[in-house]
Amino acid sequence: MGKLYLDNNNPKSAYDIFKHEFNTGDLILFSGKHSIISTTIRLWTKSHYTHIGMVIVNPILEEPDGSQKELRGIYLIESGGEPIQDADDKVYKFGVQIVPLEEVVETYDGSIFWRKLNISATTLTYNEIRIHLSKIYKYIKNKKYDLDLIDLLTIDLNIDIEEQVSTCIFFNWFRHDTQKQDKFVCSALVAFLYTKLNFLPSITQWTEVGPKYFSDENLDLKFENDVFLEDQQKIK
């Protein structure tokens, strides 16, 4: 479940301990208490984890005129709904957004865990990941949250098995799209980002990914290009 470094008299203490170690690409897992979506995900996936997002430090965002701006600080890129305005557009969103991580930790009703992305065995730098991620964000900005019931019902751990296509055109009409790019649940967004960052295979069926795929509940979690996630730590 993750180690606990938490002073009950100061609910921010664990976050304050770890925040200086956060880097772009790290994952933040959530275990919600009272949300309808959290409860549905917990019951269907039989998992403690109900939400997930990715850390991005000092994100680079594109302005309407094509110029770029840099947000200073530690942010969370996620698909969901927060009582916090999107840091880029200054509006409330239900879908893909970038929000200040510290505000998310402060307002979240539940437990929160951090998994550090370790790239020590690669030639990558966290700044290179940040630049690549910022380019990807330009494409997925303002994509809606995926409320498709079929997508929820097909959440699975077998996401890196190549999808089979029928030789019969009729049956292909009813195929489920396992790599949607027009809307995302939280875990699908993270899996999409990790796929585009070449940490997961290109055949990854990100639409079918649940939050627990990236958690300590998945003992078979493996990535490509020598990156890995360290043991998770509880920060709230």
- What CATH number does the domain containing 55 carry? 3.90.1720.10
Q: What is the pLDDT of residue 32?
A: 83
Q: What is the pLDDT of residue 107?
A: 93
* Domain span at 175: 3-234
The pTM assigned to this predicted structure is 0.85
How far is 188 from 66, CA to CA, in rounded Å? 28
Q: What is the pLDDT of residue 34?
A: 67
Helices (H), 97-164: 101-107, 126-140, 149-153
Name which of 1-15, 31-45, 130-144, 214-228 the model is least confident about. 1-15
Using alpha carbons only, what angle is made at residue 59 by residues 56 and 62, rounded to the nearest 5 degrees? 140
- Both tokens assigned to 190: 């993270």
Question: 3-state SS string over 150-200?
Answer: HHHHCCCCCCCCCCCCCCCHHHHCCCCCCCCCCEECHHHHHHHHHHHCCCC
pLDDT tens for each residue of 221-234: 999 999 999 999 99
**Number of separate domains in the chain:** 1
Average pLDDT, the chain: 85
Q: How confident is the model at residue 171 (pLDDT cuts 50, 70, 90)?
A: very low
End-to-end Cα separation, the chain, in angstroms? 12
How far is 81 from 204, CA to CA, in rounded Å? 25
Q: How confident is the model at residue 235 (pLDDT cuts 50, 70, 90)?
A: very high
Nearest partner of 80 among 51, 112, 48, 49, judged by Cα = 51
pLDDT above 70 for 155: no
Q: Residue range 39-67: average pLDDT?
A: 85
How far is 168 from 233, CA to CA, in rounded Å? 48
Max Cα–Cα distance, the chain, nearest Å: 63
Rg (CA), the chain: 17
pLDDT tens for each residue of 90-146: 999 999 999 999 999 999 989 999 999 999 999 999 999 999 999 999 999 999 999
Reduced to 3 states (helix: H, G, I; strand: E, B; else coil), residue 40 is helix
Q: How far is CA 192 from CA 10, 87, 140, 178, in A?
A: 35, 21, 10, 11
Q: What are phi and psi of 185, to 5 degrees?
A: -80, 170
pLDDT above 60 for 165: no
Name which of 22-36, 72-86, 152-166, 210-224 the model is least confident about. 152-166
